[in-house]
Structure 1
């Protein structure tokens, strides 16, 4: 029996939704191998629609990792990662004097 409690979640090591990365983390293997096997099984003649439906179903059923807050840099704008600027002691004055 295994002593460690593993939980299947979508991973931050993601290309689209993190499903395959989460499966790889759960089973303790490299995500590249899971992605290759999934791609081969999905493009096998007659299995494309089934593979896509399984992927979408897993995306809905597998919860997001609670520590996952960012997507792959492939899908985000790199400028969004900068910290937000905060203004202090701002006053407003009318510049249009009549």
Structure 2
């Protein structure tokens, strides 16, 4: 096994460990401030909604479809066309996410 792969694995493992510890601290602080009642449940549920939207729009099928198209546009070589494409896609995605978020808040 190469040293670089081992080093990368150790870094990822350590950062995952730190993330788990910070998650435990976060849960302890929430439990201390709100207790284990309905208020904490509502707070935690409200925090899951933005995470779900991020997973849906940023890490889901959109990202898998966007990267190959972006690569094709970039390979065309026209820098202005690339910037215009990115601006249109990010603007459209922003509008869609805003609408979905408003619907979620109202519902």
Taking structure 2 as the reference length, the TM-score comes to 0.28
Larger radius of gyration: 1
Larger RCO (CA within 8 A; separation ≥ 6)? 1
